């Protein structure tokens, strides 16, 4: 999908973080961008900032865990721009409960609803539209290095599922000779505020499991500030769309960790962890 000028992109989780970085990069490429997020005030602030910079954007408050909300997002996008050429299923949350068996059912329902079912709802709603358009189109699903490595607990479980789903959809599209293509984004540490996902946790799912005793919002904030900029991630996403590249890996220093896991799998070894970069 070489030419992005005047094409339409829909980005979930676009009010901040990686979603905002993608929206900014798409706007710079001349695309019209539909931004969606559950955090209404931040969403409208981001949309206003992009408009002030000259971008053609449209904002829709959306809870991706709701199939109806995602369907309404598609209706709004199509009603505003008439087509959708790029979909970024990016919205995600993090629940840091440990150990995993003490995570509550509310933890599971919340993180599965956003991180996995949000992607499912996006694919089910938008991909048939893209196929019917019979034009070049692309879906980007945000997973994580946690979907390729061992030890991610609830978050890793959802991101591993997103990787597997994305691989399957890629094979189905190629097998059937359809024009849309798909990528899976597996970033490492990025300067976002996902560590503070609790700000958007639904009241009906408020029963949270325990967090590690050495964890704090301030410590997490300091760590995430050292991560890759969301804008840099957005630029890598645009490159992958242009190249029709499936894997978007933003942190090559983790290559040996992925190799370590795959080697253990092939050898039938029990899982172990390598020290993370910087440790």
pLDDT in tens, 29-81: 999 999 999 999 999 999 999 999 999 999 999 999 999 999 999 999 999 99
Examine the residue annotation and report whether 155 is marked as an active-site residue of this protein: yes
Output the pTM of the full model. Answer: 0.97
Q: How far is C-alpha 79 from the geometric centre of its chain's CA atoms?
A: 24
Find the catalytic residue in 81, 94, 155, 254.
Answer: 155
pLDDT of residue 277: 84
Strands 138-142 and 181-186: parallel
Predicted pLDDT of residue 245: 98
Looking at residue 111, its pLDDT comes to 98
Helix (H) or strand (E) holding 161: helix 153-175
**Can you tell me the distance from the alpha carbon of 5 to that of 7, in angstroms, rounded to the nearest whole number?**
5
The pLDDT tens digits of the residues spanning 137-160 come to: 999 999 999 999 988 799 999 999
Lowest mean per-residue pLDDT among 96-110, 137-151, 163-177, 234-248: 96-110
Query: pLDDT-based confidence at 242, cuts 50/70/90?
Result: very high
- The domain ranges of the chain are 8-254
Nearest to 247 by CA among 174, 180, 181: 181
The closest alpha carbon to 119, from 77, 172, 65, belongs to 65
Q: Residue 217 pLDDT more than 90?
A: no
3-state SS class at 55? coil
Res 279: pLDDT: 61
Residue appearing with tokens 């997002």: 73
High-pLDDT (> 90) share of the chain, %: 90
Distance of CA 82 to the CA centre of its chain: 24
pLDDT at position 144: 97
What does DSSP say about strands 181-186 and 86-89: parallel, antiparallel, or unpaired?
unpaired
Region 8-254: CATH code: 3.40.50.720
Residue 98's pLDDT band, with cuts at 50, 70 and 90, is confident
Candidates 233, 266, 253, 264; CA nearest to 150 is 264
DSSP alpha helix (H) spans, 87-151? 105-111, 117-133
Average pLDDT, the chain: 96
């Amino acid at each position: 999908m070489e030419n992005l000028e005047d094409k339409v992109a829909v980005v979930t989780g676009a009010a901040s973080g990686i979603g905002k970085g993608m929206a900014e990069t798409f706007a710079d490429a001349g695309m019209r961008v539909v931004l969606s997020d559950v955090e209404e005030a931040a969403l409208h602030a981001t949309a206003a900032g992009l408009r002030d910079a000259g971008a053609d954007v449209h904002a829709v408050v959306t809870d991706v865990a709701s199939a109806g909300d995602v369907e309404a997002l598609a209706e709004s996008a199509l009603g505003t721009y008439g087509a959708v050429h790029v979909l970024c299923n990016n919205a995600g949350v993090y629940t840091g409960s440990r150990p995993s068996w003490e995570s509550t059912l509310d933890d599971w329902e919340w993180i599965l609803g956003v991180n996995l079912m949000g992607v499912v709802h996006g694919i089910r709603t938008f991909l048939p539209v893209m196929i019917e358009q019979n034009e070049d189109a692309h879906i980007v699903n945000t997973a994580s290095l946690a979907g390729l490595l061992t030890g991610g607990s609830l978050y890793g479980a959802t991101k591993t599922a997103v990787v597997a789903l994305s691989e399957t959809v890629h094979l189905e599209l190629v097998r059937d000779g359809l024009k849309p293509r798909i990528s899976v984004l597996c970033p490492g540490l990025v300067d976002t505020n996902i560590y503070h996902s609790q700000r958007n946790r639904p009241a009906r799912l408020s029963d949270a499991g325990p967090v590690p005793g050495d964890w704090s919002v301030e410590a997490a904030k300091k760590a995430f500030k050292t991560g890759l900029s969301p804008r840099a991630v957005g630029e890598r996403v645009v490159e992958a769309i242009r190249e029709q590249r499936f894997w978007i890996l933003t942190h090559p220093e983790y290559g040996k960790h992925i190799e370590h896991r795959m080697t253990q799998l092939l050898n039938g070894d029990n899982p172990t962890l390598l020290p993370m970069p910087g440790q």
